[in-house]
Amino acid sequence: MNLKLGDLAPNFTAKTSQGDISFYDYLGDSWAVLFSHPADYTPVCTTELGKTASLKSEFDKRNVKVIALSVDSVESHKGWINDINETQHVEVNFPIIADENREVAELYGMMHPNASETFTVRSLFIIGPDKKIKLMITYPASTGRNFQEILRVIDSLQLTSNYSVATPADWKEGEDVVVIPAIKTADIPAKFPKGFTEIKPYLRMTPQPNK
Indicate which residues carry an active-site annotation.
45
Evaluate the CA torsion angle 11, 35, 98, 77 in order and state its sign: negative
Distance CA 133, CA 113 (A): 23
175 closest CA partner among 208, 198, 131: 208
Burial class of 149 by CB neighbour count within 10 A (0 to 12, 13 to 18, 19+): exposed
Q: How far apart are CA 162 and CA 31, in angstroms?
A: 14
Contacts (Cβ under 8 Å, ≥6 apart) of 184: none
